[in-house]
Amino acid sequence: MDNNISKTELLYTKSKPLDHLTIFDGIMLMIEQQAQAVTDVKKAHKQIENAINKIVKQLTVNQNSRLIYVGAGTSGRIGVQDGVELFPTFNWPEERLDFIIAGGKKALLNAVENAEDNIYNAKKIVNDKTINSKDIIIGLAASGNTPFTCKVLEECFNRGALTIAISNNPKGKLLNYGKIKITLDTKEEIIAGSTRLKAGTAQKICLNIISSMVMTKLGRVRNGYMNAMVPTNRKLRKRQEFIQNKLLK
């Protein structure tokens, strides 16, 4: 194997190729692989705990600290999926949340040509957003080597920000720029290179844990309820009323 190729790009060979399986066997294999993603996250629990502790401390000490998610392609979309929930779920201030996505908002719905290779744009965005030592940057890359994401994290690291590098490749360059390094070693995919599968699942679980525990330790969860949620529709207004009644007892 070429040492420069991440295992996330390789084919899973412990079964027949997916297109050689029956639908039933394909389903079972995919379920098995998704379950493996949970195990891979569990192996990184100490790194994740360290990240949570450092993030909580940073957000508590600096009332202007921002949580900023960084990524390209699937990893960028997973970061956005986690971050956008922080306001309605925990009433996290929108001005203390941001995203740096290769290709910008357009890339959330479309593949933007060469966006993940554009390191010059990465440097410009970091400068435009005036990222500083108070900010927290969470960078995700399945291969660990995405040029855009690596450059953003490098620039933020050099500015003294608290950088969290999440890579599915233990040898990913991204880890060089993380003050806290989290490795989710998910290895090969059953559709070679399709990191929207096991690698993406592991990333989403990891972010769920980090953001939920951070918000909980900041007091935005009480007795297991979302005591700071923002009711943006009728269903959520009913939920808020239910929660308030529970917490008053």
For residue 116, indicate whether it is catalytic.
yes
DSSP the chain: --TTS-GGGSBP-SSS-GGGS-HHHHHHHHHHHHHHHHHHHHHTHHHHHHHHHHHHHHHHH-TT--EEEEESHHHHHHHHHHHTTHHHHH---GGGEEEEETT-GGGGTSPPTTGGG-HHHHHHHHHHTT--TT-EEEEEESSS--HHHHHHHHHHHHTT-EEEEEESSTT-GGGGG-SEEEE-----BSSTT-TTTHHHHHHHHHHHHHHHHHHIIIII-BTTB-TT----SHHHHHHHHHHHHHHH-
Q: Pick the catalytic residue: 9, 116, 154, 189?
A: 116
Q: Pick the catalytic residue: 9, 32, 49, 85?
A: 85
Q: Which residues are known to be catalytic?
A: 85, 116
